[in-house]
Amino acid sequence: MNSFSGRHRPTAAVLLSLAVAVTATACGSGSGGSGTNAADKGTYSVWDPYPQFAKGSAWTNLLDKCGTAAGVKIKRTGFDTSDLANKSLLAAQQGNSPDLLIVDNPVVSTLAEAGVLTTTDDNKLDTSKVDPNLLAAGQSGGKTYGTPIGANTLALYYNKAVLKKAGVDIASVKDWTSLTAALEKIKGAGKKGITFSAIGTEEGSFQFLPWYWGSGAKLTALDSDQAVSALSLWKTWLDKDYAPNSVLNNTQTTSWQEFATGDYAFAENGTWQLANAKKAGFDYGVLPIPGASGGSAAAPTGGEFVTLPVQSDTGRYTTSQKLATCLTSTQNLYDTDTTLSYVAPTAEVQDKQLAAEPELKPWIAAVKAAKGRTSDDLGTKYPKISEQLWKAVQTALSGSKSPKDALADAQSAVK
């Protein structure tokens, strides 16, 4: 497993931190957490969610290189993702924000609504080359608050040998009907169908969203007929033993471990499992998650944004913009996204990635169809909606309520 795979899983802790006032902070690793008040004019502070990258790593070397090019020193601190959200809000309250803040994309709108971040109109960051669907995760109220450093998303891994034994041609899997028909054939051949994560946390919502959006449902109407059809799909798979009951407790890691046994035909998982897939010991392929009636469903995006927090000394923005522009230049994006197992946010860099690694083709297609969880101007409403969504998934899959009733309750709770 590469060093980033654990961090890529969205966690309930991140989202809970957005829904509550900041009352305490946890310690991050790296050098101290001082922001600009403690920094002199020649030192610029950068906070990121990559604590596993120590000094001398490719990431910290890039930060230092960009600092040198801008004529300043970099004081970098790496925090755990959930700590970083809280720490950033507290630092802003104290007037002690870092010059550059790199945060998980669902956090951007929360920090923006709290007045922590400058807009790209203010800080002059150029986002013109960024894919619009990826940039949307950093937009709120018609304004843009940063630029993505890279993205990951979900797709279906498949085991070629299991499909062959069941007589399933992967080219035939184009929509929900053909996927379910394939799962029926796979079960009939004595193999296991599909595994995923439906756990009662943000991970469960994250994995359900491609099916939810693939039905045509919107997060503002959890009880729509389309939403019910998506949850009914998952429920049918469990009822017919096409998917195991373990999905109720599966994280994306334990779901991957089930697929890695070689018994399953399909597993819903992310870009971050590519290194593990290559070690699995069997031939695999990757298929973008199909929509209900065909095409690629929108899967949620993971990945971070480079943002510039508000500073009392507005003269710092010019250098901060130079640093952010350096970190997201074509060559630096290519190098960084290779390190992170990310798909780049621009077509230019995606083309470079594809030339170097042809197996990224389905992932680039999935990222191009992907959608930010806070897109559609949901912003800070998303955590509450997501919590009710994962509760509805749990309630329906466990058999406590029908998909229709579980989603009706979810919509009532959100209102």
Quick one: tokens of 410? Answer: 């979810």
- Separation between Cα atoms, residue 405 and residue 409, nearest integer Å: 6
pTM (2 d.p.):
0.83
Judged by DSSP in three states, 30 sits in strand
Same domain, 266 and 176: yes
Please write the tens of the pLDDT for every residue from 306-362: 999 999 999 999 999 999 999 999 999 999 998 888 999 999 999 999 999 999 999
- Separation between Cα atoms, residue 71 and residue 162, nearest integer Å: 57
In a domain, 64, yes or no: yes
Same domain, 124 and 35: yes
Please write the tens of the pLDDT for every residue from 55-77: 999 999 999 999 999 999 999 99
Judged by DSSP in three states, 199 sits in coil
In a domain, 355, yes or no: yes
Same domain, 349 and 256: no
Question: For residue 348, what is the domain's CATH number?
Answer: 3.40.190.10
Same domain, 163 and 139: no
Same domain, 337 and 383: no
- Supply the mean pLDDT for the chain: 89
Reply yes or no on whether the pLDDT at 279 is more than 80: yes
In a domain, 373, yes or no: no
Same domain, 31 and 61: yes
Same domain, 220 and 160: yes
Please write the tens of the pLDDT for every residue from 80-109: 887 898 999 999 999 999 999 999 999 999
In a domain, 114, yes or no: yes
In a domain, 348, yes or no: yes
Same domain, 174 and 129: no
Please write the tens of the pLDDT for every residue from 172-230: 999 999 999 999 999 999 999 999 999 999 999 999 999 999 999 999 999 999 999 99
What range does the domain containing 48 cover? 5-152+302-368
Displacement of CA 221 from its chain's centroid (Å): 22
In a domain, 166, yes or no: yes
Same domain, 188 and 68: no
Same domain, 148 and 169: no
Query: Of 376, 245, 324, 329, which is closest to residue 44 (Cα–Cα)?
Result: 324
Which of 103-107, 161-165, 189-193, 386-390 shows the lowest mean pLDDT across its residues?
Answer: 103-107
pLDDT of residue 362: 93
In a domain, 354, yes or no: yes
How many percent of the chain have pLDDT more than 90? 83
- Separation between Cα atoms, residue 328 and residue 240, nearest integer Å: 47
Same domain, 137 and 177: no
Same domain, 123 and 16: yes
Q: How many domains does the chain fold into?
A: 2
In a domain, 242, yes or no: yes
